Amino acid sequence: MENPIEELKKKILENFISTKSNWVEKTYNSQQYQQELKYIKDISVDYIETLRAISFYSTRGGDIYNKFLCIRAIDDLIQSAIAILTLVENGIHNTVKRELRYLIEMITKYVIVDYAKMGESFEIKTEYLRDEIPNSSIDIVNEYSTPFSADTKDQFHSEIKDFFYKACAYVHPSKKQIDEQVRNYERGNTIGFESSKMFNDINKLVFRAYDMILVMVFHSFGYSMSKDLFEQIFNDNPKWKFHKGKYVKEYSKTLFN
């Protein structure tokens, strides 16, 4: 007598093998998919190396390295970037959106504290973060001065809030998240079988977040030391991906104009 569970298992496995074979042939091996795969690797490497450069150079100034929340957060930012790369490569996108939301919130609040309590100890800053910065809101970004002109400052504030609130749909249970999952399932885009367009969309989101995060870390790092890094490293590297970052590009202009 045939075992119905084993029969079902066999059919599911056969269907999976067939689906994977078709996806690899039509999607994974396509030029667009391979370009997206290379792109997420390239922006991740440039982002991580940029953060490392900031961290290394910050050791020249003990107060910056020891007392600035944004600089002390670099290890966490790098860990998240490595995790995000692995998740994106494996077609896991919603978890990435949740992590990016956290990183945007974290660095926004840290840079505000770094400037509000400039010159104070690390302990004073963490107490200020606990006592004065709201836990569950991003509206505090309106208090962030930014290194930009008034128009770009307002645009940056709006984009931080837009990114944060849209990502909330993936942090809390939502109809938007369920509807998206249903549409993807109907198209056959289950975990690990994402389309090239889905890959492109998540890559754009990751780059957008990294661009804003880097600006805030640079701003916390300070004008003089950030300028040194641009002069010695980034300006001489035309392949550095963040030359094309919307806000990193604007920040660079403030250093040299």
pLDDT one-digit tens code per residue, 36-73: 999 999 999 999 999 999 999 999 877 888 899 999 99
Average pLDDT, the chain: 94
Distance in angstroms (rounded) separating the CA atoms of residues 245 and 189: 29
Question: What average pLDDT does the segment 168-173 reach?
Answer: 88
Question: Residue 91: which domain range?
Answer: 30-251
Residue 1 lies in a domain: no
Question: What average pLDDT does the segment 20-45 reach?
Answer: 95
Residue 5 lies in a domain: no
67-70 long-range CB contacts below 8 Å, 24 or more apart?
67/120, 67/121, 67/122, 67/125, 68/114, 68/220, 68/221, 69/110, 69/111, 69/113, 69/114, 69/122, 69/125, 69/126, 69/129, 69/220, 70/107, 70/110, 70/111, 70/114, 70/216, 70/217, 70/220, 70/221
Residue 22 lies in a domain: no
Residue 11 lies in a domain: no
Predicted local confidence at residue 1, as pLDDT = 57
Residue 138 lies in a domain: yes
* Helix or strand (DSSP H, E) at 143: none
Alpha carbon 168 to chain centroid distance? 15
Residue 79 lies in a domain: yes
Predicted local confidence at residue 128, as pLDDT = 97
CA end-to-end span of the chain, whole Å? 81
pLDDT in tens, 97-121: 999 999 999 999 999 999 999 999 9
Q: Report the amino acid identity of residue 77.
A: L
Residue 7 lies in a domain: no
Predicted local confidence at residue 103, as pLDDT = 98
How many domains, the chain?
1
Residue 83 lies in a domain: yes
